[in-house]
A and B are shown apart, each in its own frame.
Chain A
Amino acid sequence: MMDYRLFDNVRRQASPVEVELVEAFAQGKISRRAFVARGSMIGLGAPLIGAILAACGSDKKTTTPATSGTTAPGGTTAPGGTTAPGGTTAPSSGSIKQGGTLRIVAQTPAGPLDPVAMADLGTYCPVTTCFEYLVDALGGDVKPMLAETWKPNADGSVWTFNLRKGVKWHDGTPFTSADVVATMDRLAGSNLKASIAAGSTKAIDDFTVEITLLSPDGQFPQQVGAYNPQSVITPKDFVLGTTLDKRMTGTGAFKMTKYDAATGATFEANPDWWGGKPYLDKLEYSFSEDLATLVSGLQGGAADAITQFSVIGGDALFNDSNIVVQSIRGAAHREIWMNCREGDFTDKRVRQAVALGIDRQALLDTLLKGKADIANDHPIAPIYPFFDATQPQRVRDVDKAKQLLSDAGKAGLAATMYFPNLQEIPQLAQILQSQLKDIGMNVTLSQEAVVDGEEWCKVYDSKVEPAGCDGGKDFGIVDYGLRGVPDVYLVKAYATGEWNSAHYISEPFRAAVKAYQSSLDLDGQKAAIKDIQKIANEDVPYAIPYFYNILFATAKNVTGIVATGLGHFYCGKAGFTA
């Protein structure tokens, strides 16, 4: 039952953008979950969200997110099993012991620990153990991290972040807005160049910064959270190119004490962490590129946790009663790219035929043991609040696929599919080869020497639209990791050229992406996303068969780790059960 007096009271405290969202929720246009997610994104504080939920008579059993205060990563716990989209190991029965060393096996960093230039999961892991983000975007909701609160202006082009006070760098220097300004200026030349320019970030006072965007973005907090990994905040005097092992600093729960690029890293607890003293005394990371090593390490007791593994090769862990497997449901997926500009796939009927030739359920059952969601040839996963579930699912239709190939004059098409040796992808390629044979395609397989190498995207300086990813092969598979919002997929793979291995150009699609990004309200996003799903599904520059769950595993007595599908492994609230 609606408490109108309380509701009006709440409405008077809110800004116009917030009022729009609050009214949409009150009128039942959006779900409670979508309201909380969107509310946290635009900076509605926890007290305000709680008050609105109470005024609207919502179920009080469900907890509200912490959009202010001192909740640290790992402060929220999720039930065991599948979590979305940031996984947290559930506490076992009993309390957490103070002390101990957590031994983790993680992927070997592929490059130097450079927070600005890092580009692989193995590097994100040690770097984000020390460095933190403005916001905690690990779960579906955006929560405070180094910023306690944030607000957009009326059109989402200027965002104001109020920073947490009392935070110290590991060397004891206070964290202030000067650090954020310097970090944003560094990122303006690299990772955030599409969003901000150098000088776009201004310090209003020691603990308030104002960021003016190049164009309105209703999802901007996601750009300064974990799913844009390079956006970690570094000290103001951090010189571009400096690596964490050369300057061991950060604001996080653990300080780096030793690093060896080949063997591993050690970290000790930061007693002055803003989230409180960690339970653990120490973290010890061992690096390995070999899945069998990870699995036997955990089973043999040499490790307490492994950061990420695939069903194929890691299935022994599912049946081990001493091990807890966590499954993060999300938007990580594989894209089967088809060159829309030149070659055999320029006719969309050929691309549709490929999509129709795929038996998605068989892929899920065979490769992922069901730990995935079926996808519909667009990168919008069901976990996103604006996902359009009314769109008809494409199902396998061999006759129709054959007909489309024949109509396009490509019956019996022979093509070479390029793919990396990464997790289940080689097996996916083999099954696709077999499935596409049924529609008359003769697919030859070719494994790439390097993951995401030249076959996928050769150069970045093409002068031909879409500028960017060019010179790669016409047909292949590429991996896309989990993101809190689909912007990276939509912009980089579809709308612009950076990762556009399909060389896809569609003005209606670009317009829909622009509409989605500039929407501050969920209704606007839903409408834009509906178009995006429809156009991508119809044009099929990329066939997308599934969204797979990210898996990580721990020993039974380990609890409180917060993981993402992008290599983050937050242990500030982790420990061993008593």
Chain B
Amino acid sequence: MGRYVLRRLASAVVTLWVLATIVFLMVNVIPGNVGRSVLGPFALKEDVARYNHQIGTDRPLISQYFTSIRRVFTLDFGDSYKSQSAVTKIIFPALFRSGKLALLAFIITIPISIAAGIFAARRQDKVTDRVVVNAGLATSSIPDFVTAAVLMSFFCVHWKLGHVFADPPSGTSVVGQLPYLLTPALALVVAYFGYIARMSRAGVINGLQADYARTATMKGLSKGAVMRKHILRNALAPTITVISVQIGYLFGGIVGVEKVFNYHGLGSTMLSAVTSHDIPVLQGAVLLVGIIYMVSTLLADVFIAFLNPRVRLETSR
């Protein structure tokens, strides 16, 4: 197991290097003169040149590339072009905010959707199964920002049951922050419920039809024990993989929901960096999301290996 984790970590370093290279190439194909875009159209040519020299964008690309790679591995992305404060001071608070929202959304979504999937699988092709499947299909086909806008209009603006802005005032306690985050988290729950519920349903149905489940039942184990000890260990592997991928998305891809609730997570930070040509912030945020993807998939694989002895055996070979 330890060797497996080490091997995955080594491959993560290579992935990180590839990702950093792609990000470097991407930001360097964005047209425009950095100094000009920061200092504005009225700055003198000499000032623009001085600024470019100061931040190093006039150096040869290969030299800039090595600086960029060094920054990735030291997590020092330099200063924001826009606010001139350290990039880490911008992206880590944004990461923390995204993390809070993602955590709350998953705390609500995962148990509900897995339970709904198991419930539907055990009643396959009955009315309750159809309800879960179709409701899941319907909710996951609505874009999360649309759900967010609808929830905002009714819950927050019209009925005043929730907070319009998800950022709580400074100094609010952890418990006090929950009401602020609840409505955007619900928008994410609606979006992900169907996807996770259908994945767990399909896994449980496969498990229920598998030989090992029949054997366990014939050995005299109760239905609950068969489900817990045999079916779920196998059935949840694809669900955990899906969840791990969604974690990465929740950190960087929910710009729409963040915009609706004026929440300044990593997604909004990246969007703002793109529109203002703030390359250091963009670079830092994209790489951070990449790291989160890698860590979450690594944890998912380790968890699957923990749940399923077969996987452990395969990985130890």
What are the residues of chain A within 8 A of B45 when measuring CB–CB? 459-461
Whether A263 lies near B41 (C-beta < 8 A) is no
CB distance from B139 to the nearest CB of A (A): 23
Given A108-B272, A300-B164, decide whether A460 and B83 contact each other with a Cβ distance below 8 A: no
Instruction: Decide: A261 and B83 in contact? CB cutoff 8 A.
Output: yes
Contact pick for B164, options A266, A284, A301, CB 8 Å: A301
Q: Say whether, besides A243-B84, A460-B41, A290 and B90 are in contact (CB < 8 Å).
A: no
Other A-B contacts than A111-B82, A296-B152, A460-B45, 5 sampled, CB-CB below 8 A, are: A258-B170, A266-B170, A296-B157, A300-B164, A453-B41
- The stretch of B16-24, B60-68, B233-241, B259-267 that contacts the partner chain: B259-267
**Closest A residue to B265 using CB positions:** A262
Which bucket holds chain B's interface residue count?
A: 35 or more
Q: Are A119 and B40 in contact (CB under 8 A)?
A: yes
Binary interface encoding of chain B residues 14-51 relative to chain A, with 1 for a CB under 8 A from any of its CBs, else 0: 00000000000000000000001100111111000000
> Do the beta carbons of B164 and A296 come within 8 Å of each other?
yes
Residue ID in chain B nearest A114 by CB atoms: B84
In contact, A111 and B44 (Cβ under 8 angstroms): no
Q: Does A14 contact B (CB under 8 A)?
A: no
Whether the pair A498, B42 counts as a contact (CB closer than 8 A) is yes
Is there an interface contact between A469 and B163, defined as CB atoms closer than 8 Å? Answer: no
Q: Point out the residues of chain A lying under 8 angstroms from B37, CB to CB.
A: 450
Given contacts A111-B83, A290-B262, contact A301 B160 (CB under 8 A): yes
B105 contacts the other chain (CB 8 A): no
Identity of the chain B residue whose Cβ is nearest the Cβ of A458 in the assembled complex = B41
Report yes or no: A300 in contact with B94, Cβ–Cβ below 8 A. no
- Which residues of chain B have C-beta atoms less than 8 A from A105's C-beta? 262
Asked if residues A284 and B169 are in contact (CB atoms below 8 Å), the reply is yes
Nearest first, the 5 closest Cβ-Cβ pairs linking A and B are: A300-B164, A302-B164, A261-B83, A300-B157, A262-B264
- Interface bits A293-328 vs B (CB < 8 Å: 1, else 0): 100110111110000000000000000000000000
Residues of A within 8 A of B156 (CB): 296, 300, 302
Contacts of B40 in A (CB 8 A): 119
Do residues A110 and B276 form an inter-chain contact, with CB atoms below 8 A? yes
Say yes or no for B315: interface residue by CB 8 A criterion: no
Give bound CA distance, A301 to B163, whole Å.
8
Query: Interface residues of A toward B: which range?
Result: 35 or more
Main secondary structure of the interface of B (DSSP, over half): loop
| A288 sits at the interface (CB 8 A) | yes
Q: A461 — which chain B residues lie within 8 A by C-beta?
A: 44-45
Cβ–Cβ contact A293 & B259, under 8 A: yes
B272 to A469, Cβ gap below 8 A?
Answer: no
Q: Which listed residue (A108, A260, A264, A300) contacts B160, Cβ 8 A?
A: A300
Minimum distance in angstroms from A58 CB to a CB of chain B: 45
A289 proximal to B (CB < 8 A): yes
Residues of B79-103 whose CB lies within 8 A of A: 80, 82-85, 90, 93-94
The reply to whether A286 and B262 contact each other, CB–CB distance below 8 Å, is yes
CB of B269 within 8 Å of the partner chain: yes
A189 to chain B, nearest CB (A): 12
> CB of B58 within 8 A of chain A?
no
Closest residue of chain A to B82 (Cβ to Cβ) is: A111
Q: A266-B170, A297-B164, A450-B37 are in contact. Are A288 and B83 (CB under 8 A)?
A: no
Complex CA–CA separation, A108 to B60 (angstroms): 34
| B249-265 contact mask (Cβ, 8 Å, vs A): 1 or 0 | 00000000001101010
Given A289-B272, A452-B41, the answer on whether A112 and B84 have CB atoms closer than 8 Å is: yes
Q: Report Cα–Cα, A498/B160, bound state, in Å.
A: 49
Which of chain B's residues has its CB closest to A454's CB?
A: B41
Evaluate contact between B44 and A460: CB separation under 8 angstroms: yes
Q: Which of B146-169 contact A (CB under 8 A)?
A: 152-153, 156-157, 160, 163-165, 167, 169
